[in-house]
Every structure is written in structure tokens, then in C-alpha cells.
Amino acid sequence: MQTNHPFTYQIPEKFQDFLQIGMRVVVEFGNGNRKIQGFVTGLTDEYSGEHQLKSVIDVLDLNPVLSDEAMAMADWLTQRTFAFKIRCLQVMLPNAMRASYRKTLKLTGKITDSDLITLFDHQSEVEFNPRKLTSSQLNQIEKLRKANQVEIVYHVDDRAKSKLVWAFKAQMTVEELQTAKKTLRKNAAKRKRLLDFLITNHEQEFVQSDVTRENNFTASDLKTAAQKGWITRYQIEKYRNPYQIDKVQPSTPKKLTAEQAQATNAVDQAIDEDQAATFLLEGVTGSGKTEVYLQIIQHALAQGKSALMLVPEISLTPQIVRQFKARFGDQVALLHSALSDGERYDEWRRIEKGDAQVVVGARSAIFAPIKNLGVIIMDEEHETSYKQEDMPRYHARDVAQWRGQYHHCPVVLGSATPSLESRARAQKGVYQWLRLTKRINGKDLPHVQLVDMRQAGRYAPTTDISQELATEIQKKLALNEQVVLMLNRRGYSSFLMCRECGEVIKCPNCDISLTYHKDTNSLKCHYCGHEEPVPQVCPNCHSKAVRYFGTGTQRVEKELTELFPTARVLRMDVDTTRRKGAHERILDEFGKHHADILLGTQMIAKGLDFPNVTLVGVLNADTSLGLPDFRASERTFQLLTQVSGRAGRAEKEGNVLIQTYNPDHYAIQYAQRQDYEHFFGKEMQVRHQGGYPPYYYTIQITASARTEADAAQKMFQIRGEIVNYLSQNAVILGPTPQSIMRINNRYYYQLVIKYKNEPQLENYLQNLLLTSQKEERNGLQIVIDRDPMNFI
């Protein structure tokens, strides 16, 4: 059973001076002799309980791995996210430190103490096992640690790393190779070709299998070449860290535009004055937000402080990383989920030791053990991936603000399309509002044209590319310019839409799309529980073309190659980017213009800065609009604006075509005009009327169980209880089944509370979390999610 109570253990005498808060220990827990890893959260001299205390068995660290800040943050996180404290402590550490990897003690200084000489036995590295050490040895080690003369090393096996492949490069000089070529027999055509290959690609390293495949040499050709001394062959790691960017040209700060300078100065001032202020940097696409971030960070560094830069997972591309490395070199540490456990741990250590002052990373990097923070920046602050979906269910923005308060440093939230929550706060003056209204290239935002697919559908019902879009693509190909096409996969086939008129079937009570349930062939509302059968005809136009909606990238790729047989198409989706480094390779290829069309899912919408892209096409704007979520319009608007911003970023002007079945919907209309201002106004009205955030807070409670009855019953029981703790002003929606009600033979029911100010609610929920634990034995699980991002 999980709990938030700390447990008391006795400290063996030899650990008494050694053990500190924030260190990890091994203790026996519960019945039996199960050993688990625990954290020291407090120390006391007194114990008045009646139980015989168990002893700490072993210590895992030399010095605290969790700082005072981390301990305080974990306390706050536990309360804030309705989580178990142990999970909050664990989330602060890299994986390598959560698992049981082999550890050694490494000597970096000189030792004189005879005890330690025995321990190290003339080696510089020995197994670290405090349990087996004497207290005098521990004391000595403690002293050496304080003098930075020993450290603990984790031995993390990286399976990905250990895979080796053959590589080669030319060993002879170009002249020598030329000479070798002259000595060849006339009919040795293949060897001649190999020598030519080496001469033209001199100094370059090749993976053998790439060359044998692409250039039609065999492995034995290369072996012979090595015997003759033309090349040297050796083994290298197969998967290199794609982010190990070695050769970056250093970059210098650009001269800021007036708007950029104004924004930068405001934040710089807050850094100088140790102000924990939050800034909203609202800048249109291509307005140079990244340069503003870079110069703010530079300012923090100049003040002897460090900086934390968060970027959404999918836009943490090598392109972005390179920009930071180019400016700050080795001071940059990168925390990305694509790194192996070992690589992440290495970066974590560099940050903790203070060797890296600029941390660039995705969501969980917000917990990086960085000291002396001068500024925290969150790019694309509206991105939903900043919210973690598992316990602890934190939003990186909240954590950023907590750390900002702790370090007395500013937090900068940047976006072209801020979340409604943030923008509303900026408007109220809670956040300081900074704006970049112009593109750096001085050009207008790209021209956006809507293609009404209700018309297009009539003459080409089976294609995904309208005549209009096809014509535009053809034009760009003729000009040798590049095209980006986005297929919106959000909300893929979970709702019903009429192909004739674009009508999406909505709940009569909630004005939210109904979700299609395949098992019952019905439509359900996830807010109020309304259910109806799938209609035979469209309630709006009576057409029979009502179907659930979706198309795949592969199908579109096929269509593209049929329409434009000579065009080179690159596809970027979950399938083509699964392998490490694939993401970078695709973008790299496209950047070098080795392809004309980049076709992808929403992962191509963000951050890309390719000067030769002059056309952006959105194949299906509507899928995300139909999501059974009050944020559907907001997400659609954001996505369309972001992707449109990829066009015409340099000298050439760009245009955008959006294919839609709902050309009159306000989210699409305002996205066409790229008019965040009016979208915000309209959407705030909608939220006000519906009683949704930012006017109300929301909390979602989910129960899952082995039978539907158990899950439903529990939710109704909770509903019955919770009303006693809520005022008249709060609204309870549900209980309702979730859209995928059964996952892995577990049934899910949920309930959403909308409220403004409910002083008793927190306590009730904290209690619920702990008491519901008792029922876990019966297979029942309760999840409490504050400000949920997904209502489906």
C-alpha cells in the first residue's frame, strides 16, 4: 500500500555522522524481508513510539542526491498533484538512480589513511558498499568527499550503445590513391570505382553497410581494400546519440529588433532584481523568439547565474539544440527522453556538479538539479505535452513558477498562440505581457486560403488532396521550392462527421462532440453521460455520408507519388521516426533540399525554420475540432497557426492552404487570418458560457476496476460523498464512462468537478487518495487529476 507517512528507522552507529537528508537508503519494509529503496526525509534524536525499530541496512549515496530545494519541491508536488510522496521524490532523479545499477567509489585524490589504503588496495576504483565499511572508513570517505577527492560512479549498461558496426575511411592520401589507381589492371573496374569513391570522399567516415548497399560494393571488396592499405576498417557504435552534436559553428548574438530588445530588457531587469515575476512572451511565428531566449540566458550567465530552457518533446530537435550549443558551447546540458539512461545520468551529473549552466530539455527537465537559477524559459507554453499524464500529474508550468519563487528568478512563457489560461492572466496583469508583433523578415504572415472540402468531396470523393492544393503544389515544384503537408491525426476517428456538410454530432446538453463507441455502436457524451445511437443520416443535411473520420499518412504518400511522379517525398510520422536519430535525418534531408515535399503529422508543425518552404498545406483541419474536449477549438487554432507559420520565413513569400469541412467555424476562420486576438475574445466567451477554464478550475476523478459495475459504483459513491464538501457554486459532471471504457480488461469511469473556490475540496481529495488505497486489493484504482488536459 502506498502512503504519504514517513517511516522511522534506526541509524546504525557507523552511519550516524554520515547519513543526511536527501540520501537514499536500503531498508526492510512491511512483512517479510522485502528490501526497498527509501529516501531520508528527516533526522531525529528522539523516538517515543512503542515499536522496536528496524535498522537502516545500507546507504546508497555519498552525499545527498536530493537538495533542500528538491525536498521542498517534492512536498509541494505531493499536495498539489494528489500524488504519493515517494513518486514525487523519484521523479526528480534520472532513471539510472532509481534502478539498482552497480556502483563504484572512484578516487580522484590522494589517500594517506591506512584504513582506506586497505579498502582501495592500490586501485583507484572499488565497489561501493557502505554496509561493509567500518565507521572509520566512512569518516575518511566523508572527508575526502568534502574535499572532492572521491565520487560515486554508476555503471549503467546502455544496450543501444554497445551495438557495434564496421566503419571505414581512406587511409592513404589522395596522391597515393591516385598512384594505386594507375597500377590497377585494365579490367579491375570495380576496384577503380572504389578508389574513385575514396578519392572523392576523402577524409569522410562511412558505415560499411551503408556503402555496400548504396554503392554496390561487397564486404570483401572493402576487406581487400584494407589489406592493400587503401582504407582502415574499425568498429563504431551503431546508434550514436543524435544530439551529440560535435561540430557546431559558434554563433554570435544578433542585433535585436526594437521589439526583441524591449522584451529582452524587461526580463534582464527582473533577473538583476531577483524578481520572481512571470512573463508571457507572445510573438507571432517567425518573430525571433528564440533569439530573445538566447540573449536572456546570456544575460543570466553574465550575472553568474544559470538558466533552464524547456521545449516540448516533439520540437526538441537537433535543429534547436544546435542553436543553444552554438551560442553556449559546453555549458549546455541536454535532457531528452531519446537519450539512454546512461547519457541522461551523465548530463544530470554535469548539472548537479555545476559543470553545465544552461539546461535544455523536455518536460521532466524542469526537475534538473540546477543551482542558482537566474531564469526559467518555457517555449510553446501552450503545448499539452507539458502536462504529465502519470503520477505525479504535474504541469511543468506550475513547477517552473514554484522554482521561480524559490530562486527569486523570472519565468518566461513563450508562444505564438498562448494558452487561454496564460493569456487571461497576462491581460489581468498577473503576468507581465511582452509582445513581438512582426516577423523578422519584415514580411507579412503568409497568406492563408481555405479549401472547402464539402465542394471538393463531390468531384473527388476518394482523394485527400483537393484540386486547388494539387495545383499549388505543382506550381511550387516547378519553381524548385519546397512544400510542407500536414495530416492532422489528433482525434483520429473518435467522432462522427458528415462528409457532405461537415456537421459533427454534438451533445444536446453540453455542446461538446459526442464520442463514437465502437462496442455499442453508439455516441456518448463524456461530460454529462448522454447517449444516442449512431444516426443513419446527418441531422443537418440528411445525407447518408456520416462516418467517422480519418486517413493515414501512408495513403496520402501514395496519392502524392501518383499525382507528382517526379517529386521526392519524405514522410515523418511515428512510424518513420521510431529509430534513434531518424527524426534528425529526415529534417536534415529536407533542409538540404534532398526532398521536395515533407509530409507529416503534427510533429512537423513546430519550430521548423526552412527558408525554401513557400507552401504549407493542411490536409484535414477538422479532426482536432471534433474532439470531445472543451479545448478542441483552442488546439485546432493553435495547430493551424503554428503550421501556417512554417511558410515564407525568409526572402520568398509563402502561402498556406487549409482543407476543411468547416470553413465557417470560428477556430478555422481566425486561424485563416492568423488572428489570435479575436480568437481569444471569442473563445473566452465560449468558455464563459460553458463554465470552463480559465473561468473555472477543473479536477477529474477516475475510477478503474475489473468490472464495469465496480468502477461505476465507486464513482457514484464518490459523487454522493463529494457533494457534502462542495458549495452550490461547484458543478459536478458525471459519472460517465471514458471513451475507451475498457482497456486491458479494466473499466474506467470518470467524474469532473468544475469550481472556483472550494476550501473543503482539497482535504476531501487528499483523503480519498489515501483511503481508496485500501480498496486496491479488490482491484479498484482511483486517479485524481488537477487541470486535466484530456477529457476523453
Ligand X SMILES: Nc1ncnc2c1ncn2[C@@H]1O[C@H](COP(=O)(O)OP(=O)(O)OP(=O)(O)O)[C@@H](O)[C@H]1O
Site string for ligand X, 436-455 (x = CB under 6 A): ----x---------------
Q: Contacting ligand X (CB under 6 A), which of 288, 369, 392, 737?
A: 288
416 forms part of the interface with ligand X (CB under 6 A): yes
- SS3 sequence of 146-176: HCCCEEEEEECCCHHHHCEEEEEEECCCHHH
* Residue with the three cell numbers 589522395: 174
* CB 502, CB 662: distance < 8 Å: yes
286 forms part of the interface with ligand X (CB under 6 A): yes
Q: Is 88 annotated as a binding residue?
A: no
Could you say which DSSP state residue 631 is in?
T
CB of residue 435 to ligand X, shortest distance in Å: 12
Residue 693: in which H helix or E strand, if any? none
Long-range residue pairs from 248-255, CB within 8 A, at least 24 positions apart, any chain = 248/322, 248/325, 248/326, 248/329, 249/326, 250/326, 250/327, 250/329, 251/323, 251/326, 251/327, 253/291, 253/294, 253/295, 253/298, 253/327, 254/288, 254/291
290 forms part of the interface with ligand X (CB under 6 A): yes
* CB 405, CB 224: distance < 8 Å: no
d(CA 783, CA 389): 11
675 forms part of the interface with ligand X (CB under 6 A): no
User: What are the residues whose beta carbons fall under 8 Å from the beta carbon of 599, sequence distance 6 or more?
Assistant: 485, 487, 553, 556, 557, 560, 569, 570, 571, 572
295 forms part of the interface with ligand X (CB under 6 A): no
**Residue 290 interacting entry, from ligand X, Zn ion, none, C-beta within 5 to 8 Å by type:** ligand X
CB of residue 291 to ligand X, shortest distance in Å: 4
* Residue with the three cell numbers 472543451: 630
501 forms part of the interface with Zn ion (CB under 5 A): yes
Q: Is 528 annotated as a binding residue?
A: yes
Q: Contacting Zn ion (CB under 5 A), which of 61, 282, 380, 500?
A: 500
Written as one letter, the residue type at 770 is: L
Q: Contacting Zn ion (CB under 5 A), which of 362, 450, 510, 627?
A: 510
How is residue 56 written as a grid cell? 537502516
Q: Contacting Zn ion (CB under 5 A), which of 538, 586, 656, 789?
A: 538
687 forms part of the interface with ligand X (CB under 6 A): no
Among the residue ranges 289-297, 499-507, 594-602, 768-776, the one whose residues contact ligand X (CB under 6 A): 289-297
Kindly tell me which of 491 and 645 has the beta carbon lying closer to ligand X.
645
**Residue 94 interacting entry, from ligand X, Zn ion, none, C-beta within 5 to 8 Å by type:** none
Burial (CB < 10 A; 0-12, 13-18, 19+), residue 189, is exposed
Q: Contacting ligand X (CB under 6 A), which of 283, 369, 374, 491?
A: 283
Among the residue ranges 158-166, 253-261, 350-358, 492-500, the one whose residues contact ligand X (CB under 6 A): 253-261
Q: Is 507 annotated as a binding residue?
A: yes
522 forms part of the interface with Zn ion (CB under 5 A): no
Question: 258, 275, 259: which is closest to 267 by C-alpha?
Answer: 275
**Residue 387 interacting entry, from ligand X, Zn ion, none, C-beta within 5 to 8 Å by type:** none
CB of residue 465 to ligand X, shortest distance in Å: 25
287 forms part of the interface with ligand X (CB under 6 A): yes
317 forms part of the interface with ligand X (CB under 6 A): no
105 forms part of the interface with ligand X (CB under 6 A): no
- Strand order from edge to edge, sheet including 35-39: 35-39, 24-28, 58-59
Q: Is 541 annotated as a binding residue?
A: yes
d(CA 265, CA 238): 45
CB of residue 440 to ligand X, shortest distance in Å: 4
Instruction: Give the 3-state secondary structure of residue 376.
Output: strand
d(CA 446, CA 644): 7
CB of residue 642 to ligand X, shortest distance in Å: 7
**Residue 507 interacting entry, from ligand X, Zn ion, none, C-beta within 5 to 8 Å by type:** Zn ion
CB of residue 773 to Zn ion, shortest distance in Å: 32
Site string for ligand X, 622-651 (x = CB under 6 A): -----------------------x------
Q: Contacting ligand X (CB under 6 A), which of 609, 675, 708, 787?
A: 609
Among the residue ranges 39-47, 255-263, 464-472, 578-586, the one whose residues contact ligand X (CB under 6 A): 255-263
Burial (CB < 10 A; 0-12, 13-18, 19+), residue 729, is exposed
Instruction: Give the 3-state secondary structure of residue 279.
Output: strand
How is residue 103 written as a grid cell? 556502483
Among the residue ranges 199-207, 283-291, 506-514, 638-646, the one whose residues contact Zn ion (CB under 5 A): 506-514
Among the residue ranges 149-157, 224-232, 508-516, 759-767, the one whose residues contact Zn ion (CB under 5 A): 508-516
Q: Contacting Zn ion (CB under 5 A), which of 41, 441, 540, 790?
A: 540
**Residue 538 interacting entry, from Zn ion, ligand X, none, C-beta within 5 to 8 Å by type:** Zn ion
Provide the H-helix boundaries in 460-501.
467-478
Kindly tell me which of 86 and 613 has the beta carbon lying closer to ligand X.
613
**Residue 425 interacting entry, from ligand X, Zn ion, none, C-beta within 5 to 8 Å by type:** none
CB of residue 737 to Zn ion, shortest distance in Å: 13
312 forms part of the interface with ligand X (CB under 6 A): no
622 forms part of the interface with Zn ion (CB under 5 A): no
Q: Beta strands of 284-392 (E only): which ranges?
A: 306-310, 332-335, 358-361, 373-378
* CB 627, CB 639: distance < 8 Å: no
User: What are the residues whose beta carbons fall under 8 Å from the beta carbon of 487, sequence distance 6 or more?
Assistant: 464, 551, 552, 553, 556, 573, 599, 600, 601, 619, 620
**Residue 498 interacting entry, from ligand X, Zn ion, none, C-beta within 5 to 8 Å by type:** Zn ion
Question: 527, 501, 772, 487: which is closest to 627 by C-alpha?
Answer: 527
Kindly tell me which of 87 and 530 has the beta carbon lying closer to Zn ion.
530
* Residue with the three cell numbers 521526392: 568
CB of residue 415 to ligand X, shortest distance in Å: 8
342 forms part of the interface with ligand X (CB under 6 A): no
Question: 439, 359, 447, 436: which is closest to 403 by C-alpha?
Answer: 359
* CB 395, CB 312: distance < 8 Å: no
Burial (CB < 10 A; 0-12, 13-18, 19+), residue 566, is exposed
Question: 384, 360, 286, 347: which is closest to 610 by C-alpha?
Answer: 286
Q: Which residues bind ligand X (CB under 6 A)?
A: 254-257, 260, 283, 285-291, 416, 440, 607, 609, 645
Q: Which residues bind Zn ion (CB under 5 A)?
A: 498, 500-501, 503, 507, 509-510, 525, 527-528, 530, 538, 540-541, 543
Task: Please state the residue numbers annotated as binding site.
Answer: 498, 501, 507, 510, 525, 528, 538, 541
